[in-house]
Structure 1
């Protein structure tokens, strides 16, 4: 059956997933720090025509390899330099991840569990949100998921074509996020082979690791080598030492904390069904002899989450490549266990889900009230009242043994939540960002410089780079040359802010959900 045959359910699943992953991607501006820096680096790469020297505001950017930049540049070519162009292929790779998960699950666990997996992923609003962002993670999630699926598929079937797809994926995974695309799958495979008592020389050689490594290096090394030459070693040192080794050993940018934070990220990332993950993993890990595919998925989840739990730097997106595997474990659990009459303590997770559902509109209202720039938007939180109502209805259906209807209601509620977030809530909130206020308040023809630092969202939203100065004397020189110019800053240093009091402040606007404020000044014409 051909994929584009409309009778093929894969076509409709692809379309549904793509619409959900893409919906609202062009409705809100780029304002998150990571999105701003990644999308701007792609814009500058396109503008300067140099794919081996990534920069942000004309300064070499060593944070990430180039794979996502290439697709953002294609998006810019197709739809212009804007949020939609930057986010388009994130949505596509998210869709392919969901579809791929369905296909491998269907092959190894059957059609029913595959369909449940599909709906669990679509319902996980925080996971779906990642595919609305112009960052490398949607691409990494795809490649890492494909690596995991190819590994276990080859382990079971010994199909050599799948093995080469594994190493092909690993090579592009390295181009997406670096050595982690080799290290983590290798660690997962090592633990898995130990647990199934297959860690033998013969088994290892069956994976053709040396030929595989050659393929991975052929795909990834040329770009890193040319970037090393083009940046005179700056990218190599910054990326491999700072953004790989240092991130694991030391917390970066304040993103540290207890191992419980990582578990919390997983629960958030796969809500609403993640509340059943502990019970599901416990049972899935007992399937070593009965279900090779399921056992591997559960082992991979435990290893992946544990790795980032002990890592010094902790971020919500780090564990996302294992979320498709979590969805599979949950789907198996719901299919095999929830209908069992002997299921004990079955209301515990429901109690937490109802509390979370009630908390969403309440916390949203309080949170928006506390943000001075968003206080006028607090009414938006009231739109979320359908979530607790729907969850209570789903719980009632569960009590009445209508498990399928209960599952469908929960899925529908949280898919609707995603559509509301991406199509209405985020576009409304971003209207209060410093970028939007700057557009409203400052004429586009006025020259601009930056004092000390700026909100990272400005370059990509204005399609330009900014000169940064460090002294008031440089600002005064700028005003002599451009009397109608403006200077902006988001420095948090009080002394530096006081130094600018000799100028006329035009406006100030706090960044959304971040602890810095953009202030814009012009020359005081009275002096």
Structure 2
């Protein structure tokens, strides 16, 4: 018990230093974080906690749960960097606790502590634990689903299945169908390996599906009733089915993508663990495939293979394999003794240095914060704001100012109908050049070359207000 208290003290201190310290300096960035932050902001503005919006339009990119987390933090702490990063940070703490609890049940408190250290100080956890994305919540809910199932299976106490299905429902509310399909596939493959598919033929699983439907239905049923087929087509058709079958970023759809993510994500520990594993394997050592190890292997390998088969690839997609991988690694690192603590201390110093010396200045550079600050006095005086020529890196402008941007396009492009393809991710509403009233002051965000062309189409008194990394801010006086 004394050791466990020390473990919690060390893990709690690490969490405070690595996942809270400096969060107030980490600016909300484009192009991903701002979508979540702006949607949560508009949830509060419109007082609508069921239909996500962005730029005032309904937005079916992700389910509701992560927006609820962000909106709750904004309600308490205001629209600050700290509030925007609070939900991922707290979920890291919850994940550390869950990993330690389950690791202790499997292998004892020492292995559980080492696994939690590896998890907390791995590069991918540090990255996702600071990012305003859904993946830390998905890690926790999918892991809880699988752990609850395994506890029920191992103990033959199938009431655990109720917790597993409730957690899967929250995962579906956070990320979509993958929150059920991924752990469901892992469980099915594990039971096939065990030749024990009968473990699913229990009444508690039926009751668990009822719990799942009740929890998930909190949001999905009202959304379908309000938005009908459009919600199904865009949310399921584009943002789920298309992500699996059509690459949003074709350059990343290569076979070695997730091998690289694995090596980078478990930095620095993987570069010690892999050589040690190879050395032991060559000396004749073989992994003992007991029930616990089988479950961990099926969990890790299934996550890797499923997302490798997806056409669209993201850095964070394979993140749900963290628990089994660090538990498998931990038994080796238990023999490190003080070297593990020295390594942890070194990584802690490195991460703190990265937050203050690299991440804070870089993240402000990768947002429209500077442009928003320069534009605010003109917006207060009634200037209208548009972007032209380049849409990347401008969504955060609306988050920081509360003023909606419009993308200036030709009348012909404005009249083109939207198709169910990746064009639905172009979330900035459009306005035609021909409709702009030049007797009003205008703010234009765009690249130097694009705005130079615009000035020829819309001559007047133009001024450069602020230079940014991707875009500049220009002011055109009223005629």
TM, length-normalised to structure 1: 0.77
Please show how residues 4-403 of structure 1 align to structure 2 within 5 Å.
9-10=7-8, 13-199=11-197, 202-206=198-202, 208-254=204-250, 256-275=252-271, 276-277=273-274, 286-289=287-290, 292-335=291-334, 403=336
* Matched position secondary structure for 2:359: helix
SS in 2 for 1:26: helix
Contact 2:60 2:234 in 1 (8 A): yes
Render the CA deviation track for 1:79-103: whole Å, top value 9, x for unaligned. 1012211211111011101111011
Q: Which residue of the partner structure matches residue 480 of structure 1?
A: 438
8 Å contact kept, 2:37–2:132: yes
Give 2:346's aligned residue: 413
The Cα of 1:280 is off from its aligned counterpart by: 5.1
Which whole-Å CA distance do the structure 2 matches of 1:116 and 1:433 have between them? 35
CA 1:176–1:279: 2 relative to 1, 3 Å? farther
Superposed CA deviations along residues 359-414 of structure 1, whole A, max 9, x for unmatched, are xxxxxxxxxxxxxxxxxxxxxxxxxxxxxxxxxxxxxxxxxxxx323322222222
Secondary structure of 2:337 counterpart:
helix
- Greater Cα offset, 256-265 or 169-178: 256-265
SS at match of 1:208: helix
Does residue 521 (structure 1) correspond to residue 457 (structure 2)? The answer is no
Q: Secondary structure at the match of 2:438?
A: helix
Q: Distance in 1 between matches of 2:165 and 2:277?
A: 30
Q: Deviations over 1:291-315 (max 9, x none)?
A: x223311221011101111211111
Match of residue 389 from structure 1: none
Which residue of 2 is the match for residue 450 of structure 1? Answer: 386
Classify 1:431/1:241 alpha carbon distance in 2 versus 1 (closer, same or farther; 3 Å).
Answer: closer
Partner SS for 2:25: coil
Determine the C-alpha separation between the residues in 2 that align with 1:280 and 1:147.
29
Tell whether the 8 Å contact from 1:98 to 1:324 is kept in structure 2 after alignment.
Answer: no
In structure 2, relative to structure 1, the CA distance for the partners of 1:210 and 1:271 (3 Å cut) is same
- Cα distance, 1:238 vs structure 2: 1.0
Q: How far apart are the structure 2 equivalents of 1:121 and 1:319? A: 14
Task: Measure how far apart 1:248 and its partner are.
Answer: 0.9
How far has the Cα of 1:11 moved from its partner? 5.7
- The answer to whether the Cα contact below 8 Å between 1:249 and 1:311 also exists between their aligned partners in 2 is yes
Q: Aligned with 2:33: secondary structure?
A: helix
Separation in 2 of the partners of 1:97 and 1:207? 29
Q: CA offsets per residue over residues 464-506 of structure 1, 9 Å max, x none? A: 32344424995686453423x3122369xx7786234546351
Q: Secondary structure at the match of 1:259?
A: coil
Unaligned runs of 5+ in 2: 412-430
- Distance apart, 1:429 and its partner CA: 2.1
User: Cα distance 1:280–1:98, how it changes in 2: closer, same or farther (>3 A)?
Assistant: farther
Tell me, which stretches of 5 or more residues in structure 1 are unaligned? 340-402, 512-516
The alpha-carbon distance between structure 1 residues 424 and 495, as it changes in their structure 2 partners (threshold 3 A), is closer
> What per-residue deviation string (whole Å, max 9, x for no partner) do you get for residues 43-100 of structure 1?
1011101122211112221110000111111111111012211211111011101111
2:162/2:205 contact within 8 Å kept: no
Helix, strand or coil for the counterpart of 2:252?
Answer: coil
Q: How many residues align?
A: 445
Rounded Cα–Cα distance in structure 2 between residues aligned with 1:490 and 1:234:
34
Q: Distance in 2 between matches of 1:22 and 1:56?
A: 28
1:197/1:334 CA distance change after superposition, 3 Å:
farther
C-alpha distance in 2, partners of 1:287/1:252? 40
Shift of 1:190: 1.5
The separation in 2 between residues aligned to 1:100 and 1:108, in whole angstroms, is: 12
Q: Secondary structure at the match of 1:445?
A: helix
Structure 2 equivalent of residue 470 of structure 1: 409
Change (3 A) 1:251 1:497: farther
* SS at structure 2 position matched to 1:75: helix
Query: SS at the partner of 1:175?
Result: helix
Shift of the 207–319 alpha-carbon distance from structure 1 to 2, 3 Å rule, reads farther
- Any conservation in 2 of the 1:224–1:236 contact (CA below 8 Å)? no
2:365 aligns to what SS in structure 1?
Answer: coil
When residues 182 and 490 of structure 1 are mapped into structure 2, their CA distance, relative to the original with a 3 A threshold, is farther
Higher RCO (Cα < 8 Å, 6 or more apart):
2
Q: Structure 1 residues 263, 425: CA separation in 2 closer, same or farther (over 3 Å shift)?
A: same
Q: Deviations over 1:324-366 (max 9, x none)?
A: 221111102333xxx5xxxxxxxxxxxxxxxxxxxxxxxxxxx
Could you say if the C-alpha distance between residues 280 and 96 of structure 1 is closer, same or farther in structure 2, counting changes exceeding 3 Å? farther
